[in-house]
Amino acid sequence: MSEASSSLLPYLPEATIILSLRGADPFLPECLEALLHQNYPSYQVHIVIDSREDEAWDVVAQTLRRYPTKKVKVSPLRTKRQTCGLKCSALIQAIAELDIDCEVVALVDADTMTHPNWLRELVSPLRDPAIGATTGNRWYIPDQRLWGSLVRYLGNVASVVHMDMHCIPWGGSLAIKTQYFDDTNLLEHWSQALAEDVLLYNALKAQGAKVKFVPSLIIVNREQCNLWSYLRWMKRQLLCVRLYHPSWPIAMIHGTVTVLLPILALGLMLIALFTHQWNSAICASSGLALLWVVQGLLAITLEQGVQKIIKARQEERPRFEAITLLKLWLAIPLAQVAFMIAILWAAVARHIDWRGIDYEINSPWDIRLVKYQPYQPKPKLADTRISVL
């Protein structure tokens, strides 16, 4: 077959999907079923579960019983390294057991609801020799009854833009050419890192390769959260950017400006009102309203783009009621303050709690798992969509 004709064929090499689990996420059964029904010619799934006592073990076993012919490997995490995050330990274990003909590894999280062509769309761009990894991103569907979910939705709108502009990979939907595990010493990096995804940008850049964002891989997430859980989660996300990505100063500036501008406008408006400077008060209040309108329009524009992607996949599209839109607009200043708190928190963090494990952060490559214990599930809530954060 000529080189020209072979280039017309889809690039679908042997692939392995790796799913690391600690705790049973709300939609884990749906996640597993979606992974087992990918429109891809040859792939297998390797699931690494934190321990045999983990609640995820039974969920996985019950789901796989319905699909005995699928190529799935399930293993407990055998080595809990004290020098990195537990997910990094799980990935190192899974990659050490890859088949020799595997050319691509796809990482996925338990809250990632993949569509049938997810793996195909994730892997295909890797045909380009300049691309070392591909990634998608998450898109939350907020419940208007939970301010945490509303704030997370707004925060994610800004995060999606920032991550796309600065090529920050997302480990919930991430494919990597296996050649780079050796070329970049990626496994060695993981063995000393808190998280697996953000550091990939620098590792690939050093080899002249890049991370490509695939717009069709925006993944809808229907989980919900409260405000405190969101703050703790956002702190971890920003901490990883601080530790492993050069865009951290930009994130700091963005967080500071987005909070200080409305505070400045509000302060000027109040001063003008108290001093009866009505024109100045109108200008300040108009500026504040304009700022929030622009941010709202950004969210609406991105939402419309995501809706088109969801429609093209023939998935159920979310509907935003009027009360949800109103509360989202009211949540904009709350989201700005929450983001600033998380930024400041991440800037000085020396300890982090991640699903019941305390990590000590001495430097990007000096991470210590303080004490391991199996995952302790929290009491079941009436709302089964609450995220495990």
Mean pLDDT calculated for residue range 169-186: 95
As a whole number of angstroms, the distance between CA 265 and CA 289 comes to 10
pLDDT at position 380 over 80: no
- Identify the weakest region by mean pLDDT among 88-102, 276-290, 356-370: 276-290
pLDDT at position 264 over 90: no
Per residue in 12-33, pLDDT tens?
999 999 999 999 999 999 999 9
Tell me the average pLDDT of the chain.
92
Per residue in 210-235, pLDDT tens?
999 999 999 999 999 999 999 999 99
Higher pLDDT among residues 363 and 316, named by residue: 363
* Residue 73 pLDDT: 97
* Residue 6 pLDDT: 53
pLDDT at position 381 over 80: no
pLDDT at position 51 over 50: yes
User: Residues in the chain, how many?
Assistant: 389
Higher pLDDT among residues 251 and 367, named by residue: 367
Phi and psi at 28, nearest 5°, equal -60, -45
Q: Are 55 and 122 in contact (CB under 8 A)?
A: no
Mean pLDDT calculated for residue range 169-193: 96
Q: Are 202 and 241 in contact (CB under 8 A)?
A: no
As a whole number of angstroms, the distance between CA 125 and CA 214 comes to 8
Tally of domains in the chain: 1
Residue 4: inside a domain, yes or no? no
* Residue 327 pLDDT: 93
- Identify the weakest region by mean pLDDT among 76-80, 116-120, 320-324: 320-324
Q: Are 235 and 194 in contact (CB under 8 A)?
A: no
* Residue 8 pLDDT: 66
As a whole number of angstroms, the distance between CA 25 and CA 388 comes to 6
pLDDT at position 115 over 80: yes
Per residue in 241-250, pLDDT tens?
999 999 999 9
pLDDT at position 56 over 80: yes
Residue 378: inside a domain, yes or no? no
As a whole number of angstroms, the distance between CA 148 and CA 320 comes to 17
Q: Are 100 and 109 in contact (CB under 8 A)?
A: no
Residue 223: inside a domain, yes or no? yes
3-state helix, strand, coil in the chain (%, to 5): 50, 15, 35
Residue 6: inside a domain, yes or no? no
As a whole number of angstroms, the distance between CA 184 and CA 91 comes to 15
Q: Are 162 and 241 in contact (CB under 8 A)?
A: no
Q: Are 279 and 206 in contact (CB under 8 A)?
A: no
As a whole number of angstroms, the distance between CA 292 and CA 22 comes to 39
Residue 86 pLDDT grade (very low, low, confident, very high; cuts 50, 70, 90):
very high
Residue 374: inside a domain, yes or no? no
* Residue 5 pLDDT: 47
Using the structure block, give the residue that is written with the tokens 């400041």: 344
In three-state form (DSSP H/G/I as H, E/B as E, the rest C), the secondary structure along 223-287 is CECCHHHHHHHHHHHHHHHHHHCCCHHHHHHHHHHHHHHHHHHHHHHHHHHHCCCHHHHHHHHHH
As a whole number of angstroms, the distance between CA 188 and CA 96 comes to 12
State the DSSP string of 122-177: HHGGGGSTTEEEEEEEEEE---TT-HHHHHHHHHHHHHHHHHHHTT---TTEEEEE
Residue 382: inside a domain, yes or no? no
Residue 356: inside a domain, yes or no? yes
Residues of the chain with pLDDT > 70, as a percent, come to 97
Residue 5: inside a domain, yes or no? no
* Residue 175 pLDDT: 99
Higher pLDDT among residues 6 and 308, named by residue: 308
CATH number for the domain spanning 319: value is: 3.90.550.10
Structural domain span for residue 276: 13-369
Residue 174 pLDDT grade (very low, low, confident, very high; cuts 50, 70, 90):
very high
Stated pTM of the model: 0.93
Backbone torsion region of residue 36, taken as left when φ is above 0, otherwise alpha when ψ lies between -120 and 50, otherwise beta: alpha
- 3-state SS assignment for residue 323: helix
Per residue in 33-48, pLDDT tens?
999 999 999 999 999 9
* Residue 265 pLDDT: 83
Mean pLDDT calculated for residue range 167-176: 97
